[in-house]
Structure 1
């Protein structure tokens, strides 16, 4: 039998997911090119280069043995926790928040790395925990401590959006591990009671303004409501077919803030219209559906928890960003995966994707990688 001319490492990649993803990244690069006034610098070129570099990283991660994932779970979590402490001590300040570590060649935001990190460490924790103990305090208290420690450090930066993302990933892992449903319902009820107290006592002024702006963005359209008002104008003015590539006015005339990062979807929708928005939603649906299929075929509890948690992490990014730019959620500064300009965000999402690709490979050879 003749061998295929396509190398095995290429043939085994999940092209049914990667090809649509390439289309999404290409659209993102076109939007960033337009946002920069028709220039590859400083956004579009670096966006594509970062994606290609991190894609190689994702492929390398997909070749990693399952036992290595188990071994490095707690050390990686501990290292990221140390980085979060260093942010508090020597971190760089930008935009009123202390979130970055200056490494010389790049600025690293450790809080982003904790999003996949919390999924990995909890997958390891619940895999090692005997199933009968999952519904006891042993399944709740240690896992809760693993979630609260990084979330509290991130909230101090302050970065409420990322802290909520870490908590979301952790709670999803608890739910998937099989903790009793009434625990979640009780926690939700307690949260509803505590929310008004936290709103007036724990949140910073700008965070309270974001919530109030979300409830009534038209109340201060030139102040706290400016971001979301301009975003909705950009999305609505695109219509069905958009104004055309390079013809957006909201971003080019600098009415739309953060047109290349948090509000990149609004920039895209103005020029590409409803059809562009549907394409973006279609690609994310393909990627997330593929990830859930991988998780369902996973050969063991650890792999299933790991893949589903990574899917949930990407979903949180997508859902919150899209809701935010359309006025359905407060502005919390979460970028849109694979479209927004930003190195750490791209790194985080490609780490998640590479991990799902690893589980997909374990599904193909379950016996040899256990």
Structure 2
């Protein structure tokens, strides 16, 4: 797990160096900031490994309450940037509370499910508490507005709930409710620009110079890399600024252009081996809490990666979900590295210690 993390982190920093390089001054300050965050993330992993994961979970409700307060603070007191209230200026970096909110949600859901034993699968009334725990951050994040991160919270809740097993009647009711929520959300809750993103995803050629621009430039960048890519720092779509958000949401498009299909396969192999190992940790954990916790952390990284990669290839609408540990962003990087640390902690404690 640590080896894969270092490989992915190294490729991410290499890609960030290229995507933010300035001809006159060299590497951009964003590169050095991300390097500092990555180093801090490794230190945080070491700290997590020194603690029993049961103790980390006990701190989950404290972290959960704190991030809810921070999310409220952003809505009430933080000035909007580009129409969104997501970041709290701490001086040395901008904190995005919605990122640690995802990890806090996993901790409290794991504690909730681990402490509830239900024979035959969970019923609807057994899901009331987990649902409330999910709805609170979901609503606060969606109000920022940050639909992508809010959806990740909902998807993580669904994944963890299915993992602990539902009764068939409960699953049927929830499936029907989910379809109804999609219809209601489309008709009454989505903002106009959010609807436009979905319509553009279905027909990007219909609005090439506006909402369809990002998707088309991303597909051009990935496709132009061909088999072996154009070479490090030789990508034209990124360096000539045709590709927007090339260091954040569309970072992998830069990698695909410069390293091609072969480089992309190598990266994805490292990435998904790390995720497969996370599932293995969940299945071999010593107790129910460790299993649910490792699975939730793995699903957090998995779904963000799937949505981002599909978004880059034009297979999903642009919803602003970064590629974990690859896209630029201190809050996102530290949150996902903490999730990796928790998975490693569960693995370390999956075997009984030898006694003499």
Q: Aligning the two structures, in what range does the TM-score lie when normalised by the shorter sequence?
A: over 0.9
Judge conservation of contact 2:107–2:293 (CA < 8 Å) in 1: yes
Structure 1 counterpart of 2:329, from 324, 334, 342: 342
Partners of 1:182 and 1:223 in 2: CA distance: 45
Partners of 1:344 and 1:181 in 2: CA distance: 38
Q: Which residue of 2 aligns with 1:43?
A: 30
Q: Which residue of 1 aligns with 2:123?
A: 136
Query: Is residue 125 from structure 1 mapped to residue 109 from structure 2 by the alignment?
Result: no
Give the direction of change, closer, same or farther, for the CA distance of 1:184–1:238 in structure 2 (3 Å limit). Answer: same
Judge conservation of contact 2:247–2:328 (CA < 8 Å) in 1: yes
Partners of 1:133 and 1:162 in 2: CA distance: 32
Query: Is residue 166 from structure 1 mapped to residue 153 from structure 2 by the alignment?
Result: yes
Moved more, 142-151 or 170-179: 170-179
Moved more, 43-52 or 284-293: 43-52
Partners of 1:131 and 1:228 in 2: CA distance: 45
Partners of 1:324 and 1:366 in 2: CA distance: 45
Query: Is residue 154 from structure 1 mapped to residue 138 from structure 2 by the alignment?
Result: no
Query: Is residue 179 from structure 1 mapped to residue 163 from structure 2 by the alignment?
Result: no
Q: Which residue of 1 aligns with 2:71?
A: 84
Q: Which residue of 2 aligns with 1:230?
A: 217
1:308-347 matches, within 5 Å, as 308-347=295-334
Give RMSD over aligned pairs.
1.8
Partners of 1:365 and 1:108 in 2: CA distance: 39
Give the direction of change, closer, same or farther, for the CA distance of 1:78–1:181 in structure 2 (3 Å limit). Answer: farther
Partners of 2:88 and 2:179 in 1: CA distance: 35
TM-aligned CA deviation for residue 365 of structure 1: 4.1
* Gaps in structure 2 of 5+ consecutive residues: none
TM-aligned CA deviation for residue 21 of structure 1: 2.4
Partners of 1:338 and 1:285 in 2: CA distance: 13
TM-aligned CA deviation for residue 182 of structure 1: 3.8
Moved more, 316-325 or 195-204: 195-204
Deviation per CA, 1:185-207, whole angstroms, max 9, x where unpaired? 33223333442332131101110
Structure 2 counterpart of 1:211, from 194, 198, 201: 198
TM-aligned CA deviation for residue 46 of structure 1: 2.3
TM-aligned CA deviation for residue 291 of structure 1: 0.8
Judge conservation of contact 2:120–2:167 (CA < 8 Å) in 1: no
3-state SS of 2:349 partner: helix
Runs of 4+ with deviation above 3 angstroms: 364-368
TM-aligned CA deviation for residue 106 of structure 1: 1.9
Give the direction of change, closer, same or farther, for the CA distance of 1:236–1:70 in structure 2 (3 Å limit). Answer: closer
Judge conservation of contact 1:299–1:366 (CA < 8 Å) in 2: no
Give the direction of change, closer, same or farther, for the CA distance of 1:122–1:197 in structure 2 (3 Å limit). Answer: closer
Query: Is residue 357 from structure 1 mapped to residue 344 from structure 2 by the alignment?
Result: yes
Judge conservation of contact 1:54–1:347 (CA < 8 Å) in 2: yes
Partners of 1:364 and 1:156 in 2: CA distance: 44
Task: Please give the TM-score of this superposition, normalised by the length of structure 1.
Answer: 0.91
Alignment length, in residue pairs?
A: 352
Q: Which residue of 2 aligns with 1:28?
A: 12
Task: Please give the TM-score of this superposition, normalised by the length of structure 2.
Answer: 0.94
